[in-house]
Amino acid sequence: MTSDTATSDTATATATAGTHAFQAEVGRILDLMVHAVYSDREVFLRELISNGADACEKLRYAARQDDSLLAGDTQLAVTLAPDAAAGTLTVSDNGIGMSREELAGNLGTIARSGTRAFAEALGNAGDTQPGTAESLIGRFGIGFYSAFMVADRVEVSSRRAGSPEGWKWSSDGRGTYTIEPDEQAPARGTRITLHLKEDAREFLEPQWLESIVAAHSAHVPVAIRLKEGEVSREIADGSALWLKPKAELTADDYRDFYRHVAGAWDEPALTIHYAAEGRQAYRVLLFVPSEKPFDLFDPDRKGRIRLYVRRVFITDDAELMPAYLRFVRGLVDSDDLPLNLSREMLQHSPMLAQIRKAVTNRVLSELARLAEKDPEAYLKVWSAFGPVLKEGLYEDLERRDSLLDLARFRSTVAPDGWRSLKDYVAGLRPNQTAIYYLTGDSPAQAAASPHLEGFRARGIEVLLLTDPVDHFWVRVAAGFDGKPFRSVSQGDTDIAAIPLVAPADDADDTAAPAAVATLAAFVRQTLGETVKDVRASDRLAESPVCLVAGAGTLDRRLERLLSRQDGAAVTRSAPILELNPRHPLIRHLAAQATAPGDKALLADAAWLLYDEACILDGETPSDPAAFAARLTRLLLARGAA
C-alpha cells in the first residue's frame, strides 16, 4: 500500500535498516492534519482503503507487462481485520507492495506520494491507455497519516511484487520512524496495523466498519473484505452501479441505490443516469425524490449530491448544483477533478464549474421531458418541490426561461389544479398584454380577494402566488413570451380596454364621476397621511373598497412579510384606497359628500371604509377601539333615522 499522494520529492530512502527522522516537520504537520484538516475521524479508513485500491491498480498495470507479478493471486482486494483482544485494526491489500526505498520515500516524507510519482512516470512514458493514471486516486500524500487520528502507533509491513524481501515501517507519529527487515511481511502487498487509542475502540466493531465502508468506499475499484477471526466475507464487491450500462439495470436496482444514497424510503420520481465524455469524463446518477426530504428548507440550503473521484467518495458538500435543486439526490463520479489536501474541500476549479453547469442543465432538461411525457408524474414533483425550484427564478438569470417553462401555478381558472405559463398565454383575452398575478397566504384566501373582481368580470385569468419566494421572483422576472408580469394589487390595472364577459345591464348603477371625485377628495383629506391617494377603481365589481400598492413600491404583502423579520428596516408605505363607483354604499356616500350639511358621520364612514379595506386585505384595523366607536356612532345614527 502506498501513501495517498505527493507534493514533494525531497526525501531519499535510507540505505540501512534503523531509526530515521521524517523529512519534514512531522510533529507540527501531523498535529495540524489530525486536528484541523480532517473533520471526521472515520475518514482515515477511507484514506487507507483508497491507498490499497491504488496499490491494486498499480499491480494491474504492471502485470500487463509481467503477468508473473500476480503469481496466481489475481483476486485483488482490500481486507479489514479488527482484533478486539489486541486492540488493533489491520488494513491490508495484495497490490503492488513497497520496497524499503519506497517505504522510506512514501511514508518517511510528508506529502510525498508514490501514486503521483507513478502517474507522472506514466505521463512521461506517453501512456494513454484508460484505467492507468486516470484511475489513480491520490494527489497530495497525507491521507496515510490520518491513521494517527485513531492510532498511538502504526506499523506497515510490505513486500514489493516480485521481490524476495519484506520490510516493516513503524512510527508513533511523533517525529521518527523505523524501517527493518520483516520475514512476516505478506507474500505481496501491504499490511497496515493500527494500534488504536482507547477512545477509538469503536473501530474494532465489525458493523461499524461495514457502515463506514458502505458510506465512503463501497465503490472503489477492488473488492473490500471484512475478516472476523478466520472467517472472511466480502462487504463491497468493487463494482459501481453507475458504471454499469443502463440496459443491465432494473428499476429495483435504481430504487435500492437511491434509498442507500439518499437515506430515504420513498420511490424516486425521476432517475437520471448518463456518462459525459469529451474534454472531461464523468458519470452521473441522480434521483428526484417523490417526497420532500426532511432538510429541504434548512437555512443553509445545501445540496446532497455526492462527489466521487474514480469511485472514491470525496464529499457531499461540493455544490455540484445550485441551491434551488438541493432536493436532488445522487452522485457525480469524475476521473480527474483536482482535490485539496484532505479531499473534503475541492480547489476552485474551472472543471468543477463546467460539470456544475452541465449537470444542472441536464436535470432541468430531464424535468422538462418528464413534464411533456408524463404530466401527472411531473405535477407530483412540482407539488413537492415547486417552492424550491421557484428560488431559481430569482437567483438564476441564465436559466430563468427554462424554469418558467417548468413552473406551474394555481390560478382563478384552476384554483385546485395547475396551469403552465404556456396555458396562460394561450388563453389571453382580447387586448390583454400582461400576465396578471396576485400574492396571498393561500390559494383560497387569494381567490377571495376583492382585487380579482374586475378581472373575473372580464374573464381574465390571474395567477394565485402563495409561496414566500413568489414575492421576490416576480419583481425580477422580465416576463414570459413577451408578456410582463403585473400585480393586480399594485399600481393601475389598465384593463378597461378588455371587454366584459357580460356587459352591465344598467349604466345608471354607476355614481356620477364628479360625485365620486368629491367623495374621494373628502376621504383623502380625512385619512391624511394614512393613505397615499384615494381614487375610483376599475378592478372592483362587488366590493366597495380595496387597498393597492402604488406603482414602483413593494407589494403590500411583501412589505408585511419583510417587516415581520427581526431587524428589518422596512418602512411600510401608505397604500392607495380605491372606491367602487358601482357599489350602492359608494353611491350613497358620494351623494352625501355632495350634499350640504354636517360631515361628521361621513368622516366616520371614511375611516370605516379604510378599515374595511384593511380587513379585506387580510389585516386588522390599526385602532380597534376607534373602529368600534365609529361603527357604534353610525349604527346609532342609522337607528335614529
Pick the CATH number of 408-503 from 3.40.190.10, 3.40.50.970, 3.30.2010.10, 3.40.50.11260: 3.40.50.11260
Q: Are strands 268-276 and 282-289 parallel, antiparallel or unpaired?
A: antiparallel
Among 117-131, 361-375, 511-525, top mean pLDDT goes to 361-375
- The CB density around residue 556, as the number of other CB atoms within 10 Å, is 22
Of the listed ranges 130-144, 304-318, 522-536, 567-581, the least confidently predicted one is 130-144
**Cα(80)–Cα(176) distance, rounded to whole angstroms?**
26
Residue from 379, 338, 371, 376 nearest 355 by CA: 338
Split at pLDDT 50, 70, 90, the class of 344 is very low
Q: For residue 139, which of 37, 2, 35 has the smallest C-alpha distance?
A: 2
**Higher per-residue pLDDT: 293 or 133:** 293
Distances (CA, A) of 403 to 48, 357, 362, 395: 44, 15, 13, 11
Give the Å distances, CA to CA, from 112 to 47, 62, 144, 166: 15, 21, 11, 21
Site of grid cell 445540496: 303
> What would the pLDDT profile of 425-472 be if each residue is shown by its tens digit?
999 999 999 999 999 888 888 999 999 999 999 999 999 999 989 999
Residue 518: which residues within 8 A CB-CB, separation 6 or more? Answer: 590, 593, 594
Within 8 A by CB and 6+ apart from 635, the residues are none
> Does residue 570 or residue 487 have the better pLDDT?
487
127 or 257, greater pLDDT: 257
Three-state DSSP state, 578: strand
In 405-538, the DSSP E strands lie at: 408-411, 419-420, 435-439, 462-465, 485-487, 533-536
- Residue 23 pLDDT > 60: no
Which amino acid appears at position 482 of this protein?
G
Q: 522 has which bridge partners?
A: none
Indicate if the pLDDT at residue 135 is higher than 60: no
Residue 124 binned pLDDT confidence (cut-offs 50, 70, 90): low
CA torsion sign for 186, 190, 191, 195 is positive
Determine the Cα–Cα distance for residues 444 and 416; give it in Å rounded to an integer: 9
Give per-residue pLDDT as tens, 411-428.
999 888 999 999 999 999
Is the per-residue pLDDT at 629 higher than 80?
A: yes
- Binding-site residues sit at 47, 51, 93, 98, 106, 113-114, 190, 343
Instruction: Give the residue numbers of the binding site for ATP.
Output: 47, 51, 93, 98, 106, 113-114, 190, 343
Kindly indicate whether the domain formed by 507-640 is annotated with CATH number 3.40.1160.10.
Answer: no
Cα–Cα distances (Å) from 105 to 3, 12, 28, 98, 181, in that order, read: 10, 6, 19, 10, 16
d(CA 379, CA 408): 8
In CATH terms, the fold of domain 18-236 is: Heat Shock Protein 90 (3.30.565)
Least confident of 37-41, 284-288, 289-293, 610-614: 37-41
- The residue ranges of every structural domain in the chain are 18-236, 241-375, 408-503, 507-640
pLDDT recorded at residue 132: 41
C-alpha cell at 216: 465512503
Q: Other CB atoms closer than 10 Å to residue 426's CB: what's the count?
A: 10
Q: pLDDT value at position 570?
A: 64
Say if residues 345 and 322 touch (Cβ distance below 8 Å): no
Question: Does 628 score more than 90 pLDDT?
Answer: yes
Closest CA to 6 of 135, 114, 104: 114
Residue 12 CA to residue 426 CA, distance in Å, equals 76
Mean pLDDT of 196-212: 95
Tell me which residue of 429, 432, 436, 389 sits closest to 408, measured CA to CA: 389
Residue % of the chain over a pLDDT of 70 = 84
Give the closest residue to 453 by CA, choosing from 583, 604, 272, 594.
583
**H or E stretch at 613:** helix 600-616
In the numeric block, which cell numbers belong to residue 382?
412540482
Question: Helix, strand, coil shares of the chain as percentages rounded to 5?
Answer: 40, 20, 40
Q: Which of 61-65, 105-109, 190-194, 622-626 has the highest mean pLDDT?
A: 190-194
With beta carbons less than 8 A apart as the criterion, state whether 80 and 249 touch.
Answer: no
Q: How confident is the model at residue 146 (pLDDT cuts 50, 70, 90)?
A: confident
Quickly state the pLDDT bin for 109 (edges 50, 70, 90): low
Whether the CB-CB separation of 353 and 346 falls below 8 Å is answered with no
Of the candidates 195, 191, 188, the one whose C-alpha atom is nearest the C-alpha of residue 227 is 191
Decide if 491 contacts 467 (C-beta within 8 A).
no
Residue 373: which pLDDT band, with cuts at 50, 70 and 90?
A: very high
With 0.85 as the threshold, say if the pTM is over it. no
Q: What is the CA radius of gyration of the chain?
A: 36
In the chain the first and final C-alpha atoms are separated, in Å, by 102
Compute the distance between CA of residue 12 and CA of residue 103 in angstroms, rounded to an integer.
10
Between residues 94 and 21, which one has the greater pLDDT? 94
Q: Is residue 538's pLDDT more than 80? A: yes
What local confidence, expressed as pLDDT, does residue 348 receive?
66
Amino acid at 507: A
Fold classified for 241-375: Ribosomal Protein S5; domain 2 (3.30.230)
pLDDT category of residue 78 using cuts at 50, 70 and 90: very high
On the question of pLDDT at 111 being above 90, the answer is no
pLDDT value at position 191? 98
pLDDT in tens, 263-306: 888 999 999 999 998 888 999 999 999 999 888 888 888 898 99
In this prediction, residue 82 carries a pLDDT of 98
CB 577 within 8 A of CB 531: yes
Cell of 193: 496495523
- Which set of grid coordinates corresponds to residue 625? 377601539
Is pLDDT of 507 > 70? Answer: no
Residue 129 burial by Cβ neighbours in a 10 Å radius (0-12, 13-18, 19+): exposed
For residues 305-329, give the mean pLDDT: 87
